[in-house]
Chains A and B, each alone.
Chain A
């Protein structure tokens, strides 16, 4: 049978606040265990939560970023369960009245097609601590530094149909939240964690199949692998006439498999009820409008503008709007050099290649946008050839200064002096009599190929600095 895959994603996004959602503890990553766990985070007797305004602001920002309904009156609830990384025995979350309601955003697939994915809701909650299973005499160690870190849980509609869409969704989401500046998006440090709900149904069926939830998949690659694996597993079961069990599964990256977490399934009854230590969060239009007016240009808008304003294709526009800083860099280069297409090429090929090789972010680029813009100007005004430009670019990477400084210091200026070029052309013609004879004997089509030899020789003689256009003209004049 042909199966259709139905996927919904729940993303837990750590919000980039300085302090925790309900306490004044720092949220810095990587501190010594339990040194960032205050009395509130440790659920000491009598301790009470107080809500961090920035977490609310970031949630609203996200809601506006996906055109969602904003919960003008949202409520925190207690989600009750016992686990050692959950000190209060309940997680403060939002159940019935989340701060962000229905919204959506578009994802761009590799083939250039666009899909719209619905967002069911997004709500604020606190993160749990961490269990460390290294051996403490057969015991587990609990670090509560992360407990109370603000999370925005973003729940998608079951609109996703395959692993590629899931990855595109996550990448688009990642780009959106980093554009908004509400999360550092650092997946390696767990800033964006994903639960995948996945089910299969016969193609053409409207009803949803039984789903499995795969917990805590923490990289784009693992999401893809876990989904592929889970599709195979469920298809095998269904093909054999079996039934998929609704359960929570854990993706094991080391073994590349998902396995059941039945231990967590025992009598899950979270007993949600409104958190009596917190009051309803009521925000007004002025607050929302103030946030709206401060929103940056969002990735989708920027992408669109890049195609319109700079005439870029979807692919280039996508790469160059990947982050706000890259897009800003690109636009600064364009402003300096005036040629959007050449700028797009240089930024994507030379600059990103260089950054990639040296494992640097755009923010740490050794070549400033002004310098790259200056370099392209010199190509455009024929001061240097494309080939020489690459040498200049390397010089920039070494910190040798601006394009003009490097051209000057290294003596790379293109030779466009017709007198000097003529001497070189004459030297090449006189030194290669056999090739000249061959050229003169050839027909028009063949000559076009053979002329390249002479150009190459002149370039060699000029150490690459000869103006190729002028060399061609001179050769055409002299080879008769």
Chain B
């Protein structure tokens, strides 16, 4: 049961092959038995999960089931869950039990899904290795000496290790796609504004976007159908109509034009990874797509641009954590200043502090024009690069990451080296485009991800291309040895 896709589980539940309580119990048992190896969950509430499963079974029996009724889903611990701790991987929120659900959680509840648990993550979603969690690092199920990627590392590892059939993640600079690539699963970052950000703890408001992480494109489509749509309580949420993301999955790729940005295939790309990507592209070509050489000339500016905008927004988004209304508060503050500075010193980890300081600096008097404003201008140039490409091609393809998963600890003392991990993913967030990572082979038993980038709101096409690719390959069906049985 644990290696079934969400689509199969939905079908099995409808056909009464098994109950939601059985499915939920199965995954809860696997988490209990195995997650000590991976540390992919921060919180699991068996009682409420089983209660929700029981309620789902009643609905299924009554024949009024919604699209995901009875399906257990793991949620990144960045989404506020009513009555269930939402830590965001931080000591700051270690004791935070929100009295409200994020819109995304409400939508999953509306469609009948069961909350399986809350997954580990880099603190406040800042990181590319999941080593920045207050709850300790997550291990890659393919090799527990490796990082799972970040910041949605817990969600990626949980799905890869078959501890959850599917999960949610968030992606500010690659945080869904990079861990999906490292863990050999399928992950989609939708267009900015496609999924509500309400109740999702903010990192960088103009970049953050939630998306599905699952075994297949088909499952991602199923989850996105639940997640996507206008939320009047999020001003940045889009009014663009939502389509049924499964409807076009099987469309032919005949005539599809795929752009290959030469900047994504340069010196920085690991050779073996590049070969996997080329093989994958050949498959798409074999299905009738045309490969087109394109250029994204401002690519080398994406890292500096991102590392101004994201920290700047984060530095003020995280000001609300002051020890007054919720979350961590230092013991016996001597005065207001002590309350603030010690609460925040104790509550935030090193990388979070670093980004708050960089962001504060970039916004401070005398530097705003040179840093933040400049970055927002370059951001427009970066977006324009993509717009120009999409004049010639339908989607853009390349590697998700410069190489496969690296060893735990290998880059944790070198922030810049860590930032370079996101070189192929950041631009998608800056431009607000949808992007996917799809399993495309292995290098030394380490998964490799193929990244697909689409026009704004063209998620259905990305899912279509991924699905067709997955019909012809079985990379997405392979599971780490420890996850079998």
B222 CB-CB contact with A under 8 Å: no
Which of A43, A46, A277 gathers most chain B CB within 10 Å? Answer: A46
Contact B232 A50 (CB under 8 A): yes
A87–B325 alpha-carbon span in the complex (Å): 8
Contact B233 A90 (CB under 8 A): no
* Chain A contacts for B204, CB-based, 8 A: 276
Those of B295-328 within 8 Å (CB) of chain A: 312-313, 316, 319-320, 322, 324-326
Contact B233 A82 (CB under 8 A): no
Those of B75-96 within 8 Å (CB) of chain A: 79-80, 86, 88, 93, 96
B199 CB-CB contact with A under 8 Å: yes
B198 CB-CB contact with A under 8 Å: yes
A89 CB contact (under 8 Å) in B93, B232, B320, B365: B320
Contact B236 A279 (CB under 8 A): yes
Contact A90 B316 (CB under 8 A): yes
A87–B363 alpha-carbon span in the complex (Å): 20
Contact B319 A88 (CB under 8 A): yes
B102 CB-CB contact with A under 8 Å: yes
Taken residue by residue from 32 to 57, chain A's Cβ proximity to chain B (1 for < 8 Å, 0 otherwise) reads as 00000001001111111111000000
Contact A269 B200 (CB under 8 A): no
B198 CB contact (under 8 Å) in A48, A89, A273: A48
Contact B235 A45 (CB under 8 A): no
In whole Å, how far is B275's beta carbon from the nearest beta carbon of chain A? 40
B199 CB contact (under 8 Å) in A46, A78, A89, A278: A46
Chain B residue with Cβ nearest A79:
B316
Contact B316 A89 (CB under 8 A): yes
A359–B291 alpha-carbon span in the complex (Å): 83
B320 CB contact (under 8 Å) in A43, A272, A276: A43
* Chain B contacts for A238, CB-based, 8 A: none
Chain A residue with Cβ nearest B193:
A279
* Chain A contacts for B102, CB-based, 8 A: 46
A45 CB contact (under 8 Å) in B232, B316, B320: B320
Taken residue by residue from 18 to 52, chain B's Cβ proximity to chain A (1 for < 8 Å, 0 otherwise) reads as 00000000000000000000000000000000000
* Chain B contacts for A48, CB-based, 8 A: 197-198, 233-236
Given contacts A45-B98, A269-B364, contact A277 B325 (CB under 8 A): no
B360 CB-CB contact with A under 8 Å: yes
Contact A271 B80 (CB under 8 A): no
Taken residue by residue from 261 to 294, chain A's Cβ proximity to chain B (1 for < 8 Å, 0 otherwise) reads as 0000000010111001111000000000000000
Those of B183-219 within 8 Å (CB) of chain A: 197-202, 204-206
A215–B236 alpha-carbon span in the complex (Å): 35
* Chain A contacts for B234, CB-based, 8 A: 48, 50
Contact B236 A277 (CB under 8 A): yes
A256–B74 alpha-carbon span in the complex (Å): 62
* Chain A contacts for B232, CB-based, 8 A: 50
A44–B96 alpha-carbon span in the complex (Å): 10
Chain A residues touching B, majority SS: loop
A374 CB-CB contact with B under 8 Å: no
B372 CB-CB contact with A under 8 Å: yes
A142 CB-CB contact with B under 8 Å: yes
* Chain B contacts for A278, CB-based, 8 A: 235
Contact A90 B205 (CB under 8 A): no
A276–B232 alpha-carbon span in the complex (Å): 16
A90 CB contact (under 8 Å) in B80, B319, B336: B319
Chain A residue with Cβ nearest B196:
A48
In whole Å, how far is A215's beta carbon from the nearest beta carbon of chain B? 19
In whole Å, how far is B312's beta carbon from the nearest beta carbon of chain A? 7
Those of A216-243 within 8 Å (CB) of chain B: none
Chain A residue with Cβ nearest B208:
A276
Contact A42 B200 (CB under 8 A): no
Chain A residue with Cβ nearest B103:
A46
* Chain A contacts for B79, CB-based, 8 A: 46
A200–B309 alpha-carbon span in the complex (Å): 43
Contact B336 A84 (CB under 8 A): yes
In whole Å, how far is B336's beta carbon from the nearest beta carbon of chain A? 7
Contact A271 B363 (CB under 8 A): yes
A90–B234 alpha-carbon span in the complex (Å): 18
* Chain B contacts for A142, CB-based, 8 A: 324
Contact A42 B325 (CB under 8 A): yes
In whole Å, how far is B340's beta carbon from the nearest beta carbon of chain A? 6
Contact B325 A45 (CB under 8 A): no
Contact A46 B200 (CB under 8 A): yes
In whole Å, how far is B207's beta carbon from the nearest beta carbon of chain A? 9
Contact B313 A276 (CB under 8 A): yes
Chain B residue with Cβ nearest A269:
B365
Taken residue by residue from 128 to 145, chain A's Cβ proximity to chain B (1 for < 8 Å, 0 otherwise) reads as 000000000000001000
Contact A78 B316 (CB under 8 A): yes
Q: How many residue pairs, one in A and one in B, have C-beta atoms under 8 Å apart?
A: 93
Given contacts A50-B235, A90-B316, contact A84 B198 (CB under 8 A): no
The number of chain B residues touching the other chain, given as a range, is: 35 or more
Chain A residue with Cβ nearest B232:
A50
* Chain A contacts for B199, CB-based, 8 A: 46-47
A80 CB-CB contact with B under 8 Å: yes
* Chain A contacts for B372, CB-based, 8 A: 273
Chain A residue with Cβ nearest B198:
A48
Those of B83-123 within 8 Å (CB) of chain A: 86, 88, 93, 96, 98-100, 102
Taken residue by residue from 413 to 427, chain A's Cβ proximity to chain B (1 for < 8 Å, 0 otherwise) reads as 000000000000000
In whole Å, how far is A146's beta carbon from the nearest beta carbon of chain B? 15
Contact A273 B368 (CB under 8 A): yes
A51–B236 alpha-carbon span in the complex (Å): 12
In whole Å, how far is A358's beta carbon from the nearest beta carbon of chain B? 46
* Chain B contacts for A273, CB-based, 8 A: 312, 316, 363, 368, 372
Chain B residue with Cβ nearest A90:
B316
In whole Å, how far is B89's beta carbon from the nearest beta carbon of chain A? 13
A215–B364 alpha-carbon span in the complex (Å): 24
* Chain A contacts for B316, CB-based, 8 A: 78, 80, 89-90, 271, 273
In whole Å, how far is B430's beta carbon from the nearest beta carbon of chain A? 13
In whole Å, how far is B431's beta carbon from the nearest beta carbon of chain A? 15
Contact A80 B319 (CB under 8 A): yes
Given contacts A90-B316, A269-B364, A273-B312, contact A47 B336 (CB under 8 A): no
A84 CB contact (under 8 Å) in B88, B93, B312, B324: B324
Contact B93 A49 (CB under 8 A): no
Contact B340 A82 (CB under 8 A): yes
A78–B80 alpha-carbon span in the complex (Å): 24
Contact A44 B322 (CB under 8 A): no
* Chain A contacts for B336, CB-based, 8 A: 84
Which of A45, A48, A269, A277 gathers most chain B CB within 10 Å? Answer: A45
Contact A45 B96 (CB under 8 A): yes
Contact B80 A45 (CB under 8 A): yes
Contact B100 A44 (CB under 8 A): yes
* Chain A contacts for B324, CB-based, 8 A: 84, 87, 142
A401–B197 alpha-carbon span in the complex (Å): 63
Chain B residue with Cβ nearest A279:
B235
Which of A84, A88, A271 gathers most chain B CB within 10 Å? Answer: A271
A272–B372 alpha-carbon span in the complex (Å): 11
* Chain B contacts for A87, CB-based, 8 A: 320, 324-325
Chain B residue with Cβ nearest A81:
B319
Contact A47 B322 (CB under 8 A): no
Q: 30 A-B pairs, CB-CB below 8 angstroms?
A: A43-B325, A44-B98, A45-B93, A46-B80, A46-B98, A46-B202, A47-B199, A48-B233, A48-B234, A48-B235, A50-B233, A80-B316, A80-B319, A82-B319, A84-B336, A89-B316, A89-B319, A89-B320, A89-B322, A142-B324, A271-B368, A272-B363, A272-B368, A273-B316, A273-B368, A276-B204, A276-B206, A276-B236, A279-B235, A279-B236
Which residues of A are in contact with B by a Cβ distance under 8 Å? 39, 42-51, 78, 80, 82, 84, 87-90, 142, 269, 271-273, 276-279
Which residues of B are in contact with A by a Cβ distance under 8 Å? 79-80, 86, 88, 93, 96, 98-100, 102, 197-202, 204-206, 232-236, 312-313, 316, 319-320, 322, 324-326, 336, 340, 360, 363-365, 368, 372
- Taking A48-B197, A48-B234 as known contacts, 13 extra A-B pairs with beta carbons closer than 8 A to each other, sorted by chain A number, are A46-B198, A46-B199, A48-B198, A51-B235, A80-B319, A80-B363, A82-B319, A82-B340, A89-B319, A273-B363, A273-B372, A276-B205, A279-B236
